[in-house]
Chain A
Amino acid sequence: MQMKTSQYVTVNNLKIAYKRHGSGESVIFIHGITTNSFIWRNITPALSANYDTITVDLLGCGNSSTNLDADYSIKSQSEIIAELIEQLRLGRVHIVGHDIGGGIAQIMAVQYPDLMKDMVLINTIGYDYWPVQPITTMRTPIFRQLAMMSLDMGMLQKLIRRGLYKKESYTEEFKQLVWEEMGNKKRRKSFLHFAKCLNNQHLMEIADGLKKIKIPTLIIRGEADLYLSNIISTRLNEDIPNSILVKIKTGGHFIQEDEPEMLVSEIVSFYKGIQ
């Protein structure tokens, strides 16, 4: 496993952490909610021989700033990633997004097409199928579940297990990494603030834009993802020109844990196909 301390860029006085390995064309990995850059720990080692891999901690997550008065929404996060690409002078990059990170990648593909070579969306959110309303109350079940898992290790275990296809993918290490993201008062506040900032309106705004995307897009769907509807990937595949949909039967929501090698080989052959 690659263990390297974080590097930082500063955007609007907020620290954004990332880890960088390897050399070659830059690939930016964007994690989803309940995790941080650790979710890529089994993916990037296989890619860093040929690529400059950059795994980012989104604002409010991992080693990035956790200011509670900042905007953690996917729209804001996509602006931050764009700023990071500018600051690091990466030129056009490959983007890989999982869960919420896939939503951020979609916004970027519409808003900043010049910064991107292509994108990979893994078990991504999309449109308004993901069960997040503009959150102002606890009435949204997903938020209630996230709140409960942040307070109770038992609940957390249940939710993690539900996100995995293979029983053996559930490890103490993975559980601890998720728990660190929300396991104390300070992190919990930041985690819940992140959840509250999520607004599917931000994806509805770009729904039309998706149809005009020109960059190659690989959509990976874990068929055992119980958290996100399979309609999302099907519709994205329909809407985004030049998109390929790959379904992995043995992948749950946290497909990086279930099928890391398959994921790597799909991404690599996608990049090779483009060349």
Chain B
Amino acid sequence: MTSDKDKKIKELEEKISFMQEENESMAERAEEIFLLVMVSESIREINDKSIIIDTVLEKISILKDIPLCCLCQNKNNKILIQLAYTSFAEDCSFEELELDHEAFKKLENGILYLVKDNQLYTDVFDSLTKKNFNPRSILIIPHKSISNELTYFLFADDDKDTNRFSEILTLIHEVINIMSDKLDNLYLLEQLRKINLDLERKISDRTSELWETNRVLRKQIEEKRLAEEELKLKNEELNNFVYRVSHDLRAPITSVEGLINIIKLEMQSKTGDLKPFIDLLEDRMKNLDRFIYDILNYSRNIRSVASTDKIDFESIISNCFDELEYLENAPEISRSVAIDSNPFYNDKMGIHEIFRNIISNAIKYADRNKKKSTVSIHIKISTEEALITIKDNGIGIRKDVLPKIFEMFYRGSERSKGSGIGLYLVNQAIVKMKGKIDVKSTFGKGTEFIVRLPNKIKMASQ
């Protein structure tokens, strides 16, 4: 009876013990699943490599009770600890671990498992030993990332049961795989981001290149259009010029021919006085000569490039008046000239052209009804420019005529005897010298030309 009871009790005890073991193993498995879920959950939102590794190392350490968990690198055949979680210290630094050739060879093929036995790898154990940590077993797992970077996970335990790592090796591998997947994903994303960025930069470079080419092309087209327009204008001017020149050259010749016929007739009759006709002849020839002179000036002007000369305004003005001495009213004109003594540099020939033509007009179009005809010239010189005003009290220019006076061959008055090219030449000279001309005139009262010319004193001193 008793032995039967004992047997039953023993059976029950065995059953209880078996169930306890089963229970424990199930609890352990549940905790493993908890660890895996927790690891993948906790790193899901993190995108920083170090933080991910840190987080995972902490979780392994706490849940599997491994005091030291770290990530290491191979540095010249030494194991260098990069990131470490230590349960026994807040922060901890370690020296490099020296592994022999054989150990590294083992790591090429898989894990390395070291147990403290006072003979092998004592240096390695010593360099991990701290005041309150005395490692008894070490596990090193090599790991290759998708970028082919070789790292090592190192775990060190101080438990007397040095077999503990073999029990949790699979779990540790699983955790490392979860982390590794996440890190590989991050790496691939980063690569993708870089490629994208590179592509964007290339596109942007190409676009700006295209923009630049386009801009240059547009500029060239615009320049060409302007050049064409100018050419067209010049062509028109040239046509006009040829027409006017041939016309104006022919006019005195026709006139001379007429006079010669008259002279011939007069000579046949032998009664007449020839002198008035010869005077007229002379006058026509002089006109022709002046016209040719103007045309020559025009031609010279169009070909010459503005030079930089020191300008003696007084002598230029004086020369101009001398040259124009032959004009009908010239001797009666009274002139006043006021010039600054400051130095001024620009194109001497151009300035001469300006004064000669404007003074010439002032003389030609003097108002004979006025008691006294005057030309007054004021020149103010600064380092920047010369401001020239030439004022007369002549017959003035009608308002409707004023805008056209700088055109070629334009003659504004019935009294015009000239070529109609004078003010055109003035304007051309001013444009060439990068100056400006303005004219104010009141019909019957007089005319004032205001000319601004840049002072090239800086260019001259260079």
Contact = CB atoms under 8 A, between A and B. Distances in A.
Interface string A183-204: 0011011001100000000000
Contacts of B159: 136-137
B65 interface: yes
Contact of A68 (B59, B62, B88, B160): B88
Given A69-B89, A152-B38, A188 B62 contact: yes
A147 interface: yes
A136 B65 CA distance: 9
A147 B58 contact: no
The residue among B31, B65, B132, B160 with the most chain A CB atoms within 10 A of its own CB is: B65
B281 to A, nearest CB: 121
A149 B114 CA distance: 32
Given A136-B160, A141-B27, A69 B62 contact: no
B90 interface: yes
Contacts of B59: 151
Contact of B87 (A66, A144, A189): A189
Contacts of B132: 68-69
A150 interface: yes
Contacts of B27: 141
B93 to A, nearest CB: 15
Contact of A138 (B38, B58, B64, B131): B64
A137 B65 contact: yes
Contacts of B34: 148
A147 B60 CA distance: 11
Contacts of A192: 62, 87
A137 B161 contact: yes
A68 B89 contact: yes
B456 to A, nearest CB: 79
Contacts of A151: 38, 42, 58-59, 62-63
A144 B62 CA distance: 9
B87 A148 contact: no
Interface residues of B, number: 21
A144 B31 contact: yes
A151 to B, nearest CB: 6
B137 to A, nearest CB: 13
Interface in A21-79: 66, 68-69
A141 B62 CA distance: 14
Interface in A119-147: 136-138, 141, 144, 147
Interface residues of A, number: 19
Nearest to B87: A189
Nearest to A155: B34
Interface string B42-65: 100000000000000011001111
B127 to A, nearest CB: 19
A147 B62 contact: yes
Contacts of A188: 58, 62
Interface in B27-46: 27, 31, 34, 38, 42
B32 to A, nearest CB: 11
Given A68-B88, A137-B161, A185 B38 contact: no
B167 to A, nearest CB: 11
The residue among B27, B62, B131, B159 with the most chain A CB atoms within 10 A of its own CB is: B62
A152 B55 CA distance: 12
A193 B87 contact: yes
Nearest to B168: A138
Interface string B119-148: 000000000000110000000000000000
A69 B65 contact: no
Contacts of A144: 31, 63
Contacts of B164: 137
A69 B88 contact: yes
A267 B89 CA distance: 40
Nearest to B164: A137
Given A68-B132, A136-B159, A148 B31 contact: yes
A236 to B, nearest CB: 28
Contacts of B31: 144, 148
A66 to B, nearest CB: 8
Nearest to B161: A137
A66 B91 CA distance: 13
Contacts of A193: 87-88
A188 B58 CA distance: 10
A13 to B, nearest CB: 15
Interface string B278-314: 0000000000000000000000000000000000000
A142 B38 CA distance: 19
Contacts of B62: 147, 150-151, 188, 192
The residue among A66, A138, A152, A188 with the most chain B CB atoms within 10 A of its own CB is: A138
A192 B88 CA distance: 10
Contacts of A186: 90
Contacts of B160: 136
A172 to B, nearest CB: 22
A147 B87 contact: no
A83 to B, nearest CB: 22
B44 to A, nearest CB: 14
Contacts of B65: 137-138, 147
B38 A147 contact: no
Nearest to A66: B90
Contacts of B87: 68, 189, 192-193
Given A137-B161, A141-B27, A148 B63 contact: yes
A144 B161 CA distance: 18
A138 B63 contact: yes
6 contacts: A69-B89, A69-B132, A138-B63, A144-B31, A147-B62, A186-B90
Given A186-B90, A192-B87, 19 more contacts: A68-B87, A68-B88, A68-B89, A68-B90, A69-B88, A69-B132, A137-B161, A138-B64, A138-B65, A141-B27, A147-B63, A147-B65, A148-B34, A150-B62, A151-B38, A151-B42, A151-B59, A151-B63, A188-B58
Interface of B: 27, 31, 34, 38, 42, 58-59, 62-65, 87-90, 131-132, 159-161, 164
10 shortest A-B CB distances, which residue pairs?
A138-B65, A69-B132, A147-B62, A68-B89, A69-B131, A68-B88, A147-B63, A152-B38, A137-B65, A137-B159
